[in-house]
Chain A
Amino acid sequence: EAQVTQNPRYLITVTGKKLTVTCSQNMNHEYMSWYRQDPGLGLRQIYYSMNVEVTDKGDVPEGYKVSRKEKRNFPLILESPSPNQTSLYFCASSLMRPNTGELFFGEGSRLTVL
């Protein structure tokens, strides 16, 4: 089954404790991206990757890191989480850049930073 898999789905952590949210897709997609969803703000892009070893900042990259060492994986790293990073996070992928193609989303990871 074609899918984007994120882990963990739910996480409560404390300020400053490094964490990684993993994302994996099995569709051989070149493009991958991370979004966060916040009330009243919709979905905002954090980082994206056009291919292996090619990553770039989205609209809200502060406090996040990413890496793309393999085509299928695109982990999101919070080196020192803060309460303003409490949010619902979505990983997404598409065959190429998504301007004419649909994005496939994971089920989301709800993160709470205390």
Chain B
Amino acid sequence: DQQVKQNSPSLSVQEGRISILNCDYTNSMFDYFLWYKKYPAEGPTFLISISSIKDKNEDGRFTVFLNKSAKHLSLHIVPSQPGDSAVYFCAASAISFQKLVFGTGTRLLVSP
């Protein structure tokens, strides 16, 4: 039962353009959402998060949008840079959870 879904296994974008990575969830109890970035041969690293009381959180080139009614969140990267090429994992949690529930990941390739 995949509670957090990333339906696009990969995404290719040109440098300077916007990258939009999508994530859907099914569990209404989730109240906190995070994005992690993973480079090859490294562990995932935290990128940005959002609480369910907000619908947008911005950090530099990265913005996460949350649509609770649609159970959907997205990560926008503007402008995209070649160094952003990585696998991006969406994750969700709730106050009663003892873990983060991860999606399957989206591989982003930003070409010069």
Contact = CB atoms under 8 A, between A and B. Distances in A.
Contacts of B31: 99
Interface stretch (B10-18, B43-51, B64-72, B78-86): B43-51
A100 B99 CA distance: 10
B41 A56 contact: no
Contacts of A104: 46
Name the interface size band of chain B. Answer: 20 to 34
Given A103-B46, A107-B43, A98 B102 contact: no
Contacts of B102: 35, 42-44
Interface of chain B, main secondary structure = loop
A65 interface: no
A44 B3 CA distance: 12
Interface in A61-77: none
A82 interface: no
A14 to B, nearest CB: 24
A102 B104 contact: no
B93 interface: yes
A56 B89 CA distance: 24
B67 to A, nearest CB: 20
Interface string B91-112: 1011101111011110000000
B62 interface: no
Given A33-B99, A42-B104, A100 B32 contact: yes
Nearest to A102: B46
12 contacts: A42-B4, A42-B89, A42-B103, A43-B44, A43-B91, A50-B98, A97-B97, A99-B31, A99-B32, A100-B93, A103-B100, A107-B43
Interface of B: 4, 6, 9, 31-32, 34, 36, 41-46, 49, 51, 89, 91, 93-95, 97-100, 102-105
